[in-house]
Amino acid sequence: MPSTVALSLTDVRVRYGDRFAVDGVSLDVRRGEIVGLLGPNGSGKSTTLAVAAGVLDAAEGTVTVEGISRATDPTGFAMRVGFVPQECALYEELSAAENLSFFGKLYGLSGADLRRRVIRVLGRVRLQEHAEQRVDTFSGGMKQRLNLAVALIHDPSLLLLDEPTAALDPASRDALFADLTRLRDDGHAVVLSTHHLDEAELGCDRIAVLDRGKLVACGPPAELLRCYAKDRQVLYGHLRVRPPRFLHKALQKRFGTRIELEITGRRLRLSAPTNEDLGMALATLLAEGIELETYRTPAGTLERTLHCGTSEEEPVGQSGRVGDTERGR
């Protein structure tokens, strides 16, 4: 039996001024899968999620959740959708349980049913021991988990998350993906946006690539890799601290254009035509004082023609902590 289609977008278009932010996107997402929306800033990811969540109307096309349209049944549509925006929508002067109770009441929940749901979703995101703690004392990762719990309080079939890992450290990011995997295994449909292909490859069953409002590729990570792989070696890492500004110049002076270095916040992507070049480039970075907290060297990478910003997607190869040049190769 095929799984239920939780979200269906058909020829969706959203216009901002004289341009389409979303231009003819069609995508089905089924229960029991995680789909990643990938693309650089301005590619239409957040707008697509806003339309799917029902907080923005499409100029053209149709959006249904389990066959229900917001136009015909707004309450039924809203009860089936949980939306986690980029910014945490929490009342920091309230406790975790008080936040959940407040948002639960907005969905018409009350009494013993609401109390049971609060306990259940706090356990689901591993915050049950912090139920009475004020949110303004939470770490960034704890706030994001509570933000997820708010979206789950009414038990939606579809969960939408806009750049959920943007402000998280590696450990909090991994914990969030573990939560999303459990939700998928319980039968929820999950859609999240990101511009980090390595992240999507690790956490998503399918990847939908957006570029300038259009859906340019969609499929399992391994399938996209086979279609778009190129002959370059790549290393991904997380920096302990922000790097010095002269790193790019140091690499260019030694390697010319053979080496590509991309840094976004504390994320690093280093690529080279051969493993030897990659190792020498990493040695150069370490000699210049860069500190890597973690790293991984995948087996392949996606072609840049996918236009997916600063990270590219690949299956995982070696990983660990950088202690010396040999370990970093």
* pLDDT tens for each residue of 188-216: 999 999 887 777 877 899 999 898 899 98
- Contact (CB, 8 A) for 97 and 39: no
Where exactly does CATH 3.30.70 map onto the chain?
Answer: 228-328
Beta strands, E only, the chain: 5-16, 19-30, 33-38, 60-65, 68-69, 81-84, 158-162, 189-194, 206-211, 214-219, 233-239, 260-264, 267-272, 292-297, 318-320
Q: Work out the end-to-end distance of the chain between its first and last CA atoms, rounded to an integer number of angstroms.
A: 46
Confidence of residue 243 (pLDDT cuts 50, 70, 90): confident
Confidence of residue 121 (pLDDT cuts 50, 70, 90): very high
Angle of helix 140-152 relative to helix 96-106, nearest 10 degrees? 30
Confidence of residue 228 (pLDDT cuts 50, 70, 90): low
The CATH code belonging to domain 5-224 is 3.40.50.300
Residues in the chain: 329
Average pLDDT over residues 166-179: 84
Note if the pTM is more than 0.85: no
**CA–CA separation, 313 and 302 (whole Å):** 6
* pLDDT tens for each residue of 65-99: 999 999 999 999 999 999 999 888 899 999 999 99
Where exactly does CATH 3.40.50.300 map onto the chain?
Answer: 5-224
The CATH code belonging to domain 228-328 is 3.30.70
- Contact (CB, 8 A) for 192 and 161: yes
Predicted local distance difference test score (pLDDT) of residue 82: 96
Q: Tokens 């370059």 correspond to what residue?
A: 232
Average pLDDT over residues 122-129: 94
Predicted local distance difference test score (pLDDT) of residue 304: 36
- Of 136-140, 238-242, 299-303, least confident by mean pLDDT is 299-303
* pLDDT tens for each residue of 14-64: 998 888 999 999 999 999 999 999 887 888 999 999 999 999 999 999 999
Predicted local distance difference test score (pLDDT) of residue 240: 80
**CA–CA separation, 51 and 299 (whole Å):** 36
* pLDDT tens for each residue of 296-329: 766 544 433 343 333 333 333 333 333 332 333 3
Predicted local distance difference test score (pLDDT) of residue 66: 95
Which tops the pLDDT comparison, 141 or 231? 141
Pairing of strands 158-162, 81-84: parallel
Predicted local distance difference test score (pLDDT) of residue 298: 60
Average pLDDT over residues 152-157: 96
* pLDDT tens for each residue of 261-284: 888 777 888 888 887 888 888 888
Judged against a pLDDT cut of 80, whether residue 128 lies above it is answered with yes
Residue percentage of the chain with pLDDT more than 90 = 50
